Amino acid sequence: MKAFDYDLDYENLDLREKPELYRVGKGEQGVLLVQPYKGEILPHWRFKTPDIARESSEKIYAMFLDYKEKNDFVGMDMARKFLQMGYTRARRYTNYKGGRKYAENGTLSIRKGDPQKAESAAIFKEIWEKAKTDEDYLRMKDEHKAKYETD
């Protein structure tokens, strides 16, 4: 697997027009870089409360399905990454007040449980699992890698 390429000029690059430049990478790599998807998905990404997380994750999953309908693997993968990030960020806020793992002085913050954020994380996780195991997504991911990510 080729790593996500952080050297591209993402501010001026439309990866819908140039999907051959997109690398899946690991986890959430590039989630806040890849346009036009960042601009399309980010406004809907929220996890403050379970109700907000449910609305957000459902909207992003609907976008995932819309990208799928349009045979847009990069869009599907970016939606999957935002769902994953909804889970991981909500988990961080569950564990650390303000989402800060380290205090300003560099010491590890005291872990505190936030049941609302834990529920938000669980909501995102359920939908993220559905997206990342979607048969069409997995097939398109393999096809993308075979076509563009081979050496």
Q: The whole model's pTM is what?
A: 0.88
Q: Which residues contact 43 (CB under 8 A, 6 or more apart)?
A: none
**How big is the CA angle at 86 (ends 71 and 98), to the nearest 5 degrees?**
155
pLDDT at residue number 99: 60
Neighbour-count burial for 65-79, b at 16+ CB within 10 Å, e otherwise: eebbeeebbbbbbbb
Domain count, the chain: 1
> Residue 37 falls within a domain, yes or no?
yes
Q: CA gyration radius for the chain?
A: 16
> Residue 85 falls within a domain, yes or no?
yes
> Residue 70 falls within a domain, yes or no?
yes
Residue 116 belongs to what domain range? Answer: 32-101+110-148
> Residue 16 falls within a domain, yes or no?
no
pLDDT in tens, 111-129: 577 788 889 999 999 999 9
